[in-house]
């Protein structure tokens, strides 16, 4: 069934749909005008009736932004349903990861040709030859090194059963997306100790050098201290990955214990786990989502010897859980999403996870300028995964959020001190894992029902007023 997107104010979407496409999580480079700051502000918006899918209101250019496609992932070879994970897009192709299956089936990465966004066509599958693992995160970049020129994909490989022979990051040549070729593999040593592997990752370049930024969440504890949760790996020669650096939180917080825990300035016991990482478009700064340690900013200009710059932190009543990050306003604004699954944790504010927005013009001293929280995130008490925010992506002055049961939320951050929700997409039985804005469409990955595509159509009817059943 095609669904309409509910929108409140469409000005920000105008720049989105016609702007030069930006890669997820990169600095957008737009919105260079100054904006207001209110250090005490806490702007929280959200729509209480999000299961309604009314006709959109707004300018004629964006009046008909619809769900133009809903593509279920094909069942596994064992005939079992496949659970979707993150989604990424590059040069008109969508790459969708898959989550673990109780059967032990390894479903890899699915590739879709998006030439006709209303009819995505699955053209390849890769990373499905590693039993006992699952592939959540995929990043694709064009690189040019002395050893490789073309489109490189890095894929997280995580263990979920004893059948896994190795875990870490797989590296593929996807210059021809219809024929991915594995080039190399960076293996985390904790694999031999029943460890988890790489959870999330990023791929960045510095001149003719390609760098893998690997967030191996929980690796320190799993490996008995053999490997830290964040590692920089040189993949300029994809067939011979070379580890360059590991980030030790004890270099920043002297009271970190051997379980990666510390007591903050408020007396709260906090936990460190580098869950995710991104880099800016220059490859100079890395942003580590380090759970209760906040978002850690490293200068990686010299990837063998990164320097700590600064980090975000939390008030006593705020659960940490820094899960993912995105950049806006030319890298001067940090979007931090916090994945909080327990809305009634003793000693902390009630509610699921929400967004915190920081001024990072001075990266050594991030300043909280606003927050964004949906009504359901604030008020619902449903169990896992519920209504917590998950991942952020930024394009121009528009922030896209994947929000599990709360679907996709679209937020105008023209003034990041006053974020305003301008749209939301909540499919039936929503369980949205990832979101990605690419060209003139928006992709969403639903864990249960597969790939979703939101697209502006000519008159919004498609011959069926957007309400026909597929």
Q: What is the CATH number of the domain that holds 346?
A: 2.130.10
Residue 191: pLDDT band with limits 50, 70, 90:
low
pLDDT reading at 412 higher than 70: yes
Task: Tell me whether residue 236 is in a domain.
Answer: yes
Task: Tell me whether residue 458 is in a domain.
Answer: no
CA dist 210 and 200 (Å) reads 17
* pTM recorded for the entire structure: 0.88
Q: What is the mean pLDDT of the chain?
A: 84
pLDDT reading at 314 higher than 90: yes
Tokens found for residue 113: 């040709």
Strand locations in 91-226 (E): 93-98, 109-113, 121-126, 133-134, 138-144, 149-159, 168-173, 181-187, 200-206, 209-215
CA dist 346 and 77 (Å) reads 44
Domain hosting 311: range is 14-55+141-433
Q: How many CB atoms lie within 10 A of CB 402?
A: 27
pLDDT of residue 11: 37
pLDDT reading at 40 higher than 50: no
CA dist 154 and 280 (Å) reads 17
Task: Tell me whether residue 178 is in a domain.
Answer: yes
pLDDT of residue 337: 98
pLDDT of residue 39: 39
Residue pair 306/286 in contact (Cβ under 8 Å)? The answer is: yes
pLDDT of residue 397: 93
3-state DSSP assignment of residue 35: coil
3-state DSSP assignment of residue 363: coil
3-state DSSP assignment of residue 355: strand
**pLDDT for 132-160, tens place per residue?**
899 999 999 999 999 999 999 999 999 88
| 163 vs 412: which has the higher pLDDT | 412
- Which residue in 290, 311, 309 sits closest to 299, CA to CA? 309
**pLDDT for 380-400, tens place per residue?**
987 677 999 999 999 999 999
Number of domains in the chain: 1
Task: Tell me whether residue 194 is in a domain.
Answer: yes
Residue 412 vs residues 94, 119, 143, 165, 321: alpha-carbon distances, Å: 25, 29, 32, 45, 24
Task: Tell me whether residue 454 is in a domain.
Answer: no
CA dist 455 and 452 (Å) reads 10
Alpha helix locations (H) across 101-259?
219-222
Task: Tell me whether residue 391 is in a domain.
Answer: yes
CA dist 263 and 265 (Å) reads 7
Task: Tell me whether residue 212 is in a domain.
Answer: yes
Residue pair 237/186 in contact (Cβ under 8 Å)? The answer is: no
Task: Tell me whether residue 199 is in a domain.
Answer: yes
Tokens found for residue 191: 């694999």
pLDDT of residue 329: 96
pLDDT reading at 460 higher than 50: no
pLDDT of residue 3: 55
pLDDT reading at 48 higher than 50: no
pLDDT reading at 32 higher than 60: no
């Amino acid at each position: 069934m095609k669904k309409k997107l509910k929108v409140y104010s469409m000005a920000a979407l105008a720049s989105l749909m016609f702007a030069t496409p930006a890669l997820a999580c990169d600095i957008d480079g737009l919105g260079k005008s100054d904006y207001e700051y209110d250090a005490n502000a806490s702007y929280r918006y959200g729509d209480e009736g999000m299961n309604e899918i009314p006709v959109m209101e707004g300018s004629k250019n964006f009046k008909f932004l619809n769900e133009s496609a809903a593509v279920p992932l094909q069942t596994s070879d064992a005939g079992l349903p496949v659970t979707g994970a993150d989604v990424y897009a590059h040069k008109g192709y969508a790459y969708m990861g898959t989550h673990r299956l109780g059967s032990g089936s390894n479903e890899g990465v699915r590739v879709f040709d998006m030439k006709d966004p209303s009819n995505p066509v699955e053209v390849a599958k890769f990373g499905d030859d590693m039993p006992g693992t699952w592939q959540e995160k995929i990043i694709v970049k064009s690189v040019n090194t002395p050893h490789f020129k073309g489109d490189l994909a890095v894929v997280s490989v995580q263990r979920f059963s004893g059948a896994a022979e190795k875990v870490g990051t797989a590296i593929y040549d996807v210059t021809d997306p219809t024929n991915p070729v594995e080039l190399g593999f960076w293996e985390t040593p904790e694999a031999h100790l029943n460890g988890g592997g790489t959870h999330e990752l990023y791929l960045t370049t510095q001149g003719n050098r390609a760098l893998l930024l690997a967030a191996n969440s929980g690796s320190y504890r799993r490996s008995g201290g053999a490997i830290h949760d964040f590692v920089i790996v040189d993949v300029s020669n994809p067939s011979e990955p070379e580890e360059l650096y590991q980030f030790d939180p004890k270099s920043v917080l002297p009271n970190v214990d051997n379980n990666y825990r510390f007591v903050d300035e408020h007396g709260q016991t906090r936990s460190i786990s580098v869950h995710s990482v991104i880099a800016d478009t220059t490859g100079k700064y890395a942003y580590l989502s380090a759970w209760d340690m906040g978002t850690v900013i490293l200068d990686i200009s010299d990837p063998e010897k990164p320097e700590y710059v600064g980090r975000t932190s939390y008030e006593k009543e705020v659960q940490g859980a820094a899960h993912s990050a995105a950049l806006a306003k030319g890298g001067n604004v940090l979007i931090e999403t916090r994945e909080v699954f327990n809305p009634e944790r003793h000693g902390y504010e009630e509610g699921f996870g929400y967004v915190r927005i920081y001024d990072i013009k001075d990266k050594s001293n991030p300043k909280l300028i606003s927050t964004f929280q949906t009504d359901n995130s604030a008020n619902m008490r449903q169990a896992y995964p519920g209504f917590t925010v998950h991942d952020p992506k930024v394009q121009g002055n528009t922030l896209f959020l994947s929000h599990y049961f709360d679907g996709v939320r679209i937020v105008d951050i023209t003034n990041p001190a006053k974020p305003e929700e301008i749209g939301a997409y909540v499919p039936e039985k929503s369980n949205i894992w990832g979101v990605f804005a690419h060209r003139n469409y928006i992709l969403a990955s639903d864990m249960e029902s597969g790939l979703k595509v939101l697209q502006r159509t000519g008159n919004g009817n498609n011959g069926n007023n957007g309400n026909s059943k597929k």
